[in-house]
Structure 1
């Protein structure tokens, strides 16, 4: 998890004693629902938003598979310094309760550190709490100071992201393949997308990684709302990651994702959105985005079960 790293701490510790071990604990009380905090912690689209410890650091995700046995690989880039590679492997994922992952950090082909990261979650739909324990083994210099600084900054960023994250969920009484095919089909997606009484008018649609959907949402009163979705990731029958823009190539107002999971022959759908600012999040809540989003999922269920 690149948010845990301080590049200066890594490269400034070359001369420190090797083989250092430490157990670090970080705690955060977060003004966000437990469901939002969990999604912000685990969803790749959200992790990409809060991953960098400082604005001078660019984090590039090469792989992201958030499931037990899956791994996440990212590069931490700082101008004038070698890239830092972080591999994270998920060992345990108990939704809204606990995650456990290993983390291996390397630079220029040399392993810098290995760590076991345990995150415990608790809370309600009003507030939540996160306790992270890092069992750190520094392999090339003493990494403890860098981890403390990087993790503290990352968790501060995470708390801010969770506070502007909206999560909608619905169990749809249809197999995941059918739900996915109705979602990622350019003919059927516009038929059900949007709240009750709204319709879609598509200009361009290309539902694949790197593709886009340019369309207008038309309200019951005829009001036109221009939309532009840019697809960052499409993992068949599992996950979609996309950016929401105000009109064609307009300003981004949210990073979004959809997760599809099997649940006893039905499909659990999770829609998540990290709004670009806290003000946009509050504005969306104010005009009923939660209720409108749930209506959209209801239309999807009617579409696939009719």
Structure 2
């Protein structure tokens, strides 16, 4: 089993932490930038994240409330200052809402006094491909070396180490799988109907710029959906879906491929529709391939982004 320990170094006003993950960069980037995934792993072991607000764009803000096992909240917030897709992002890290006791403890370790704002920092997260693995480097810049040392001595390495372990255990999929998850502001029954209606599914299915044409669709266990997807470059992609299991409003499972038995390109898809409230549904889509190499090839051609665009098109269609 792959295991990587974080490497921590102190530089001028900086704590640098780096760690290798046994997953392609597309997956690691996704679990760092999708608020649904962040809630699964952010914070030390035993901590939960009841609030994750993450407007991932330059100038957008974020706010994460970490709750300790004894019920104490540690809110962190800030703004996204820079974003370079699949390479890096930079955020401000503000401690405005942290408990007074925590502020006093860190100030004591740093040997400083004064307003809590001096504890604010800037975090740069770098992503680097290392074969099929991904190295993540955290560069946290503080106001001075005293504050740097105060944070370093307050369990910063241990906290991030435990977060990374949770990331691997709770957020990253298995080596032959891809997860795509998105919250839609629409009722569960309406979302299910959009997946099951042969008259309208072509209006939203597929990534941005693609056109879907349904030939036949029989939405039942054992039934098939045969369709083509026309790419922006004019390429026509034949598709065949065979439904394996359907539970009304909440679950769809199917085998997806080109329909050409000689290609052996089928993969299994499961879709869970979870009603978060009357007008909000969490779509959890999982794709399982017959080996890791096929999964990684799908990632390289944009499987995650394509899936997210498809669900965004679904949301836009339902809003109409």
Q: TM-score, normalised by structure 2?
A: 0.47
Q: Which structure carries more strand by proportion?
A: 1
Higher relative CO (CA 8 A, sep ≥ 6), structure 1 or 2?
A: 1
Bigger-Rg structure (1/2): 2
Q: TM-score, normalised by structure 1?
A: 0.49
